[in-house]
Amino acid sequence: MTELDVGVMIGPCALVVDDLVVAGYGDAADDHNPIHFADEAARKLGLPGAIAHGMISGALLGRLVAATLGPQWLRQGRIRLKFIAPVPVGSTVLARGEVTSTDPLTLELRAETTTGVLAIVGTAMLDTAAH
């Protein structure tokens, strides 16, 4: 793991959340809610169109943290996410973070679309004292 100091920015890590990504996640999670696949179904619920599963963007944040912190993260890391807004299917999501503490190592995270929709905020911590 690279030495990370307070203020160091990580990312961005980008993902185009297209129909193929949404279909793959829907199959893996066995979540075929029509709001993820059909604009009309989403509009009936007051959404502008089909929206991606929230955990697609959540997983992108997890991938960013794992790439930054390495294998130790898989054993001793934890992440808390707050879902702020839905991501329209077809959007590009950018995951970013900033080191806010080194003891314990803490990252403030955000996932947003290239059009400025803030989808998720969160915190990742690496507990080096954990076994």
**Which tens digit of pLDDT belongs to each residue from 6-59?**
999 999 999 999 999 999 999 999 999 999 999 999 999 999 999 999 999 999
- Reported as a pLDDT band with limits 50, 70 and 90, residue 84 is very high
In the chain, domain spans: 9-18+52-126
pLDDT, averaged across the chain: 94
Architecture of domain 9-18+52-126: Roll (3.10)
Mean pLDDT of 121-130: 86
Contacts of 92 (CB under 8 A, 6+ apart): 14, 15, 16, 17, 113, 114
The span from the CA of 35 to the CA of 56, in Å, is 15
